[in-house]
Amino acid sequence: MGYMEHKHHVPASINCAVLIISGSRTEQTDESGKYIVACLKAGGNNVTDYSIIGNDAKVILESIAKIFGDGKTQAIITSGGTGASHMDITIETIAPILEKKMDGFGELFRSLTYQEIGTGSILSRAMAGIVKGKVIISLPGSLEAVKMAMQKIIIPELAHLVREASR
């Protein structure tokens, strides 16, 4: 089956959670998470959870397990904790639990970022992967990075990725 045929067999709606990983964001100051939620809903998807947690590996892994443990969430989009600082541990925490890493996501993300900001894109870390038939996507905390990823990658491909992950 070709790419376009696959796209015709995707679910109409995805159950997705949003997990903000930050040492400083609150519900009042979290523009990126609110944007992700709004994009998901505008795309006809269901948001099963929206949480803000700190840069703590144990809390990140516990949150992922709890969210996927609800039996309905098909994907988690994280935002934050992907930078170059010693405090940024999202990628290092999540990567080991992935059964399959979707390298093309990070490659495309950096390519699109380069088109927008140039060589600063080398500091951009984004990742997507599959764990137990479910999707995890990790984005930077920057609102501009989140907007670009949601508009140009995630909304167009989320249902397709979820379908393939669950097969």
Please state, for a pLDDT cut of 70, what percent of the chain lies above it: 95
- Looking at residue 2, its pLDDT comes to 66
127-131 vs 134-139, strand pairing mode: antiparallel
**What is the pTM for the complete model shown?**
0.94
For the stretch 118-166, pLDDT in tens is 999 999 899 999 999 999 999 999 999 999 999 999 999 999 999 999 9
- The domain locations on the chain are 14-165
User: Which is nearest to 154 in space by CA: 74, 39, 32?
Assistant: 39
Q: Which residues contact 41 (CB under 8 A, 6 or more apart)?
A: 47
Cα distances (angstroms) measured from residue 7 to each of 3, 17, 142, 161: 6, 22, 29, 10
- Looking at residue 6, its pLDDT comes to 59
Mean residue pLDDT of the chain comes to: 95
Beta bridge partners of 19: 51, 78
In this model, does residue 9 exceed pLDDT 90?
no
CATH fold of 14-165: Molybdenum Cofactor Biosythetic Enzyme; Chain A (3.40.980)
In this model, does residue 72 exceed pLDDT 80?
yes
For the stretch 144-155, pLDDT in tens is 999 999 999 999
Kindly state the tokens that stand for 75.
Answer: 């994907």
Q: Which residues contact 106 (CB under 8 A, 6 or more apart)?
A: 125, 126, 127, 128
Average pLDDT over residues 43-50: 98
